[in-house]
A and B are shown apart, each in its own frame.
Chain A
Amino acid sequence: MARSRAEVDGEFTEFAIGAYAPLLKAARLMTGDFHTAEDMVQSALERVYVHWNRAGAWDSPYAYTRQVLVNLVVKATKRKWRNELAHADLPEVDVSGAMEATADRRDLGIALRSLPAGQRIALVLRYYEDLSVEEAARLLGCSAGTVKSRTSRALAALRTHGVLAEYDTGGGS
């Protein structure tokens, strides 16, 4: 039975409110920029709304939206070379002992932003979204081998930055 516009909008709104925060967090890690992430998540949700009348056929609306989001991020990183740059102006770090943990997280953020976009996105999908190599490959439209090599290179780079060592010794969960 065809649903009314109000029903469709209500269902979509409920989904969007719930999915917004997790998508934004993942997007922020993938893009390295809060405002870009915000734009992309909203853009992804808008795109999903266009096809929301078919949402019943999707395995998971969240997974579908995440796919749209990843496509947008990948496309944007190819188009905007400035997204590849590490931030030149480092955030001010309070050097007092109480703020050391915060500084560590900032270091990870800086290290993440210094990675090539492909490696950063693969890393986020694998270790933040907890996707398998195969799932991440399907999402990125590349081979499992590519995902493995990207994550491997990314991890090597993070080790060079020293951020993994810091988590190994005290920041890990």
Chain B
Amino acid sequence: MTTNDESGLRGGLRELAERDATGPLQVAELLGRARRRRKRFVGYRAAGVAGTALCAAGAVFAAGAMWGGSSTTTGSAGSLAPQTCVSTWNDSASLPTPNPGVAKALLPGNPQAGLACLYSAGRLVDSVPLLGDRFDAVVAALHKPVKVYSFRCPAAVGKSGVVLEFRSEDEPDVFISMSAQCPGLSNGALTQVAFNSAGTLPAVLAELLPKAQQ
């Protein structure tokens, strides 16, 4: 390549780069997104979730009981203990309520990690770690104002739906169940909690229910 080519190209690239006016950086927006990203990053690190690879794999393995029976658990090497799903979910197994805040709010506090345990006819069929934007959206949805309603529901020995498990470093766990057979959510202390009288769920929560059960 000739020196003429080099200098010509350098000049051309500079002129091209300067062509369009560059708008100012929206600092507040950038900082807001960056802080949220940092929070997620710290949450991931704490939960020992190895980023997108694990997300893509949807890896939920191992064993260990959280509220009785055999279970599956998210792998973790961080300061947050692994989250687990119990293998069965039925009427006789009430949700644990280690977090005293559940008497006042559906999802108290600001959890850092979440796990969705999917059940069909009382048996664990899948478990999905809640990560990134999805985790933020689920937490935001569960932080929205809710009311307690009185829904009539059929008796079901083996439940179908989702149990969401939330964990944070400085607060006890929170468990929230969404049944596919009955509207309303429960955190063990508050039951038949809903966002409206029809019991319909925000999309981000509805999509967590097992497909065949929606």
Contact = CB atoms under 8 A, between A and B. Distances in A.
Given A42-B30, A50-B38, A163-B12, A155 B25 contact: no
Nearest to B28: A13
B7 interface: yes
* Interface core residue of A16, A152, A172 (most chain B CB under 10 Å): A172
Given A20-B25, A105-B19, A173 B11 contact: yes
Nearest to A169: B8
Given A24-B22, A34-B20, A172-B8, A49 B37 contact: yes
Contacts of A123: 9, 13
Nearest to A159: B5
Interface stretch (A25-33, A56-64, A135-143): A25-33
Nearest to A148: B1
B181 to A, nearest CB: 41
Contact of B14 (A9, A164, A173): A173
A25 B22 contact: yes
A134 B11 CA distance: 22
A45 B30 contact: yes
Contacts of A168: 4-5, 8
Contacts of B22: 20-21, 24-25
Interface in B17-36: 17-20, 22, 25, 27, 30-31, 33-35
A3 to B, nearest CB: 14
A163 B34 CA distance: 40
Interface residues on A, range: 35 or more
Contact of A46 (B16, B20, B30): B30
A155 B9 contact: yes
Contacts of B16: 29, 105, 108-109, 112
Contacts of B12: 104-105, 108, 163, 167, 171-172
A155 B1 contact: yes
19 contacts: A12-B34, A13-B27, A17-B25, A29-B17, A42-B33, A46-B33, A47-B37, A105-B19, A108-B12, A109-B19, A112-B16, A123-B9, A128-B10, A152-B1, A155-B1, A158-B9, A159-B5, A168-B8, A171-B8
Interface of A: 9, 12-13, 16-17, 20-21, 24-26, 28-29, 34, 42, 45-47, 49-50, 102, 104-105, 108-109, 112, 123-124, 127-128, 130, 151-152, 155, 158-159, 163-164, 167-168, 171-173
